[in-house]
Structure 1
């Protein structure tokens, strides 16, 4: 027959403490996992924004490279304008010297225009002999005058060509400048977006650092509790082993006591059998066991 189990105060105390520690550990573990998840979410956000930063940076750098190329083209245009203006200045000086040397005061181009108009009139108008003769004399005088300024006219034509060239180059330079302004605006938009994203990354890194710190704290607390739990479980196991050993010893003692009692009873029954005494039903069952 088993002895009634006695409660062990030390074992009960350990089991209560273990239950409390497990409850506390579960709470801490959930908090630890919450901060780990939070840190992971923030890290993913940072990675996503950094991808955007790279994309915007590439776009901005591409715009800046294009701007650099356009500025080089614009500078080349400005250099051509400067060279053309220097050439115009040189040709104007040359024209003045040639007019001074030839004693010409009128604009050579006007003399040419005058000759052209006289020739056109001669070819297109129906003139009387007298008027035609007078017109021919005017043409002759104009040709003579034009002959004196012919070289000057060539220089003037060069000046006009250079002026047209300057006008065209200035227009091209203006278009380049406008294009530069448009692209620079886009580049500035990308740059401002980069600054905004960089600020977001900095803010998220602070949050990530905080989450990482909280995670580490909870992880250390969990590890500390695990150690305490391990010690308490070990202690409980040792107490249970001692209790079992004690119970086993008690059971063995009780078994030996019962076996001795049965053995003594068996001897008594055997003596009764030898002496021819009548056996009871209990005696017979004992001998059969």
Structure 2
């Protein structure tokens, strides 16, 4: 059986392990909270990185699209320039032919201009309110110019061809100018997107550095978490062993208590039996002892008196036998002591 001091030591050991376990759990929860906080901060940075990457990708796609359009527009402008140069060459040749025709046919007026003047005067008659006299005068002029135009037209179609080519040149120049403006606008927008993309990439690199820093902090906290958790597992194992010892100690204590209670009950039972043997009156406590020990109540037993007499007779016989046995032992001891005394006396002489 363990001593009182040993029992105290067992309980103190369990208390010590429980306290240390509580502190380790508390520290572990604190580390876990810190780890969660770090994860949240890291996730914010990661979210910004993902957002910027999406923006940069979108800018790159738009920039590439604009760059492609600029390239196509430049190709178109180059083709238009070539076409304009070609048409200008044709126009120069026609102008030379036109001058030859004028000199040869003594044509001073330009049929294109005549046609335009005729159209303008006809439009005036249709749209403007004028006197009859003025209208007649315009009609005469239109008739004269139309006659002049028809005569020139019969002589040569070089004038119409020349004006047609000039119109084509003007149209091509307009297309070239429009292409040039679009090139400038799209190139400017493409450049702006490119700069935004570069700036976004720089921010991403900076944020990734911060993200790496958060990763390092998180790894440190994870390492500490694992260390504390391992310590906690060891401590839980030690506490389980200590608890087993405490349970064993408690069981020993309960066993000791039961043994002591059984002994005390046995003594009380003997006292009650002695009262019963002597025929003394039993108290309430005596009856409780009898009930606890399983002894029947003598007052409820019809043969109680007879049984008691038998017990007394048996006890008297046993007592007489014990006295006779003690007498024999005394006689035997006297016989053994006498020779020993005589032998000792002879040695002295």
Q: Structure 1 length as normaliser, TM-score?
A: 0.72
Q: Which residue of structure 2 lines up, in the alignment, with residue 113 of structure 1?
A: 108
Residues 109 and 156 in structure 1, CA contact (< 8 A), matched pair in contact too = no
- Could you list the per-position Cα deviations for residues 77-135 of structure 1 after superposition, in whole angstroms to 9, with x for gaps in the alignment? 0110232244456668x86xx97xxxx9xx73893117999xxxxxx89xxxxxxxxxx
Deviations 1:149-205 (A, max 9, x none): x78xx6677566545533432232122101210121122222222222222222222
Q: Which residue of 2 aligns with 1:168?
A: 171
The answer to whether residue 285 in structure 2 is matched with residue 287 in structure 1 is: no
On the 8 A contact 2:14/2:246 being kept in 1, the answer is no
- 2:210 and 2:109 mapped to 1: Cα distance? 87
Larger radius of gyration: 2
| Aligned twin of 2:257 | 254
1:76 partnered with 2:71:
no
Could you say what secondary structure the match of 1:279 adopts? Answer: coil
Q: Is the 8 A contact 2:45 2:210 kept in 1?
A: yes
CA distance in 2, matches of 1:171, 1:253: 117
SS in 2 for 1:249: helix
Return the offset for 1:256: 1.0
For residue 242 of structure 2, the aligned residue among 236, 239, 243 is 239
- Which residue, out of 219, 223, 226, partners 1:220? 223
Aligned residues: 249
Separation (CA, whole Å) in 2 of partners of 1:204 and 1:89: 65
Bigger relative contact order (CA 8 A; separation at least 6): 1
How far residue 229 of structure 1 moved from its aligned partner, in angstroms, is: 0.4
Counterparts of 1:1-289 in structure 2 under 5 Å? 6=8, 8=10, 9-88=12-91, 108=103, 111-113=106-108, 161-289=164-292
Over aligned residue pairs, what C-alpha RMSD do you find? 3.4
Q: What is the match of residue 120 of structure 1?
A: none
Report the Cα distance in structure 2 between the residues aligned to 1:194 and 1:115, rounded to whole angstroms.
58
